[in-house]
Structure 1
Amino acid sequence: MRVVENGRKEAGMNKERKPLVRFRGVGKSYDGINRVVDGLDLDIYEGEFLSLLGPSGSGKTTCLMMLAGFESPTEGEIWLGDTLLNVTPPHKRNIGMVFQNYALFPHMTVAQNVAYPLTVRRMGAAEKQTAVGRALDMVQMSQYASRLPASLSGGQQQRIALARALVFNPRLVLMDEPLGALDKRLREHMQIELKDLHATLGLTFVYVTHDQSEALTMSDRVAVFDAGKIQQIDRVDALYETPGNGVVANFVGDNNVFVGRLLALDGERGEVGLPGGEVLVGRVIGAPRVGDTVRACVRPERIALGDEAGVEGGAAVANTMRTRSEGTLYFGDHVRFRFSLAGQDSGFVKVPLDDAGLGGIGNGDAVVLRFAERHVRIFA
């Protein structure tokens, strides 16, 4: 496995799988000073669904635009198979593209919109008709072939844009936040459809999003971008359970963050003291030294609620904290119990709806939190 620029090894891909796309030392700057993308090394494997995830300005969309050919790298090389894309114009890259605003021609019918890439390629009428029909079948939109885009819903327009990207059998399909304009329910439905379509076609999908749940739901791997660099690239389960640094831990999923001092270090096992005397024990990521200020992160669903029973007085019990209730928030599929701890930001615990323990807890009540050592990550 190749080592990416942040020092972590790429994981989750079979060594025998061939990279379809290779970024080598790719950088992008618009003013010659500030780098939007900085020293990017990335392999995208044949047939995978890779999401580029990160906040606005992190470099993920610029990376996609350079791959599509709408932006040129300032330095480095981008390869698609054996073709150097730096010198290949966009229309000769054999790459399909789906935009957030769909970019459909309003004066053309659905069939004409889907056929447009084939018209540009001067495909014969009969062959073009067959290809358009096949593409519309893929996205279950054949019955709308004669409609104009304005008569379609947002989800239907998104399907047409996807059909247009697939109609010429591209080697690679790029998607720039294509579900961003849809409502929550339709967006979640389309996530499943895209994942199923990817599994059926076996094409390589590269998907840009700032929505972490979207990336985790659909992807084989996710590359987390920040400040123009890939902070971590990994399988979705590994990315969530074992974030490689504090940036990833804070951006991917919810986290409770406790700031304290590293009291002891034994290999990757560290002990953190909090200002209120609490002690947390977990896995240390990076290279903090004893005495450094560190952040210990615990996912809210990994914390169990309890009471004072069974908590010994005197010395602190590792990964057990006495907190104060700040109330609850109802989320439909779960309840978030909010708590306060001296010297720390407010935190919360995700609790199943049928948890009977919440009934007797009022604002300001003392509550004990417990969690296992394996769920604590400690970052510099």
Structure 2
Amino acid sequence: MPNPIVTFDAVQKTYDGRHLVVRDLNLTIESGEFLSLLGPSGSGKTTTLMMLAGFETPTAGRILLREQDITRTPPHKRQFGMVFQDYALFPHMTVADNIAYPLTVRRLGRSEREAKVRRALDMVQLSHLADRYPAQLSGGQRQRVALARALVFDPQLVLMDEPLGALDKQLREHMQLELKALHRRLGVTFVYVTHDQSEALTMSDRVAVFNDGVIQQIDPVERLYEGPVNRFVATFVGDNTALNGRVVQTDAHQAVVALPQGTLLHGVNVNDAGVGTEVLCCIRPERIEVLTDPAPQPRPNTLHATLDDVIYFGDHVRLRARLGELELTVKRPLTAAPVAVGATVALHLPAQHVRCYR
């Protein structure tokens, strides 16, 4: 059964009285989930997090915490943990003192405070660094200290604003897995802001995709990736091969689209585009099949394109193929049979994975 911890009820935010940074936001955050707010710069995701934290006040609407209105409750009374991109550690304090700070301001006794700090240090595997100062730590270690400080007072909600943004790629990917494992272990509700789509998909239970102050789609990661509901989500989340065309036939939720070269492409008619409508047909590059053996009968949704390039990515190869003015990207495993640049390749686009958007 749904167990909401936070509810945004018709929330709006404007800074200048004219332009809405967040528009009519209705969002429910479930207790114990890892929810990522994903979107480009200026999409409203960070403002939403700041309103939840209490650092910004909604222009209209309400924010409820377990059905209690906290719209104008100051940040220190919300009892939320917060992790920022720059970590905001006190340079003159040791790791242990930094983590203890939220307990000190809450006036916990020394023995209880020390016990909670030890537990938090164990949680992020930094017990051996308790007496060091932030300047003596690596970026990943500082990030863990900031996380331990956010968790040490047992908050019901932990808010994170791009906390991995300053880390290099390898460390960032490692910390994504660490955060996901920590979340599963603790069962605390995490709300995480990022503009990195792979980061959101890797860690989250659900992702809310923001653009222009509006949630375009909110779904579990697999549904979001496999079933984008509009053009923006389809092109923003994950890689896509995108082909422009015009609808020539519709049947229930299916569409037949004529590409500029006249080739017909069958796909899912996501937004119920009518005949004659210009649409964008999207398919994930890993869903495109390269047909190496001639089929006894032509397979529908097969395009014959010229291979322009083969790019090695370490864990897969990526083909760039051209069909007139259209460019197609295909992801293949390293074990796939090689194809020569300049060759004509038969590319099969399964109709159930082609999604057509108005």
Does residue 37 of structure 2 align to residue 58 of structure 1? no
Partners of 2:294 and 2:111 lie apart in 1 by 77
Deviation at 1:189, TM superposition (A): 1.1
Does residue 17 of structure 2 align to residue 17 of structure 1? no
Does residue 229 of structure 2 align to residue 244 of structure 1? yes
1:64-120 Cα deviation digits (max 9, x unpaired): 011001111111111111321212100000100000110001011111111111111
The verdict on how the C-alpha distance between 1:311 and 1:328 changes in structure 2, with shifts beyond 3 A counting, is farther
Partners of 1:357 and 1:263 lie apart in 2 by 36
Please, what TM-score do these two structures have when normalized by structure 1?
0.92
Report the equivalent of 2:341: 362
Report the equivalent of 1:274: 259
Which of 171, 184, 208 is the aligned partner of 1:186? Answer: 171
Tell me, which stretches of 5 or more residues in structure 2 are unaligned? none
Partners of 1:71 and 1:372 lie apart in 2 by 47
**Letter of the structure 2 residue corresponding to residue 196 of structure 1:** A
1:168-201 Cα deviation digits (max 9, x unpaired): 1101000111111111111111111111111111
Which of 295, 307, 311 is the aligned partner of 1:329? Answer: 311
Partners of 1:34 and 1:82 lie apart in 2 by 29
Does residue 330 of structure 2 align to residue 349 of structure 1? yes
**Letter of the structure 2 residue corresponding to residue 208 of structure 1:** V
Maintained 8 Å contact 2:253/2:272: no
Deviation at 1:311, TM superposition (A): 8.0
Maintained 8 Å contact 1:256/1:297: yes
Partners of 1:137 and 1:319 lie apart in 2 by 55
Partners of 1:74 and 1:341 lie apart in 2 by 50
Instruction: After the TM superposition, list the runs of 4 or more consecutive aligned residues in structure 1 that deviate by more than 2 angstroms.
Output: 306-313
Deviation at 1:252, TM superposition (A): 0.8
Q: Secondary structure at the match of 1:231?
A: strand
Report the equivalent of 2:280: 295
Q: Percent identity?
A: 58
Deviation at 1:306, TM superposition (A): 2.6
**Letter of the structure 1 residue corresponding to residue 341 of structure 2:** G
Q: Secondary structure at the match of 1:223?
A: strand
Over aligned residues, Cα RMSD in angstroms? 1.3
**Letter of the structure 1 residue corresponding to residue 334 of structure 2:** L
Report the equivalent of 1:104: 89
The verdict on how the C-alpha distance between 1:163 and 1:208 changes in structure 2, with shifts beyond 3 A counting, is same
Partners of 1:312 and 1:195 lie apart in 2 by 47
**How does 1:84-233 map onto structure 2 within 5 Å?**
84-233=69-218
Partners of 1:104 and 1:307 lie apart in 2 by 57
Maintained 8 Å contact 2:54/2:72: no
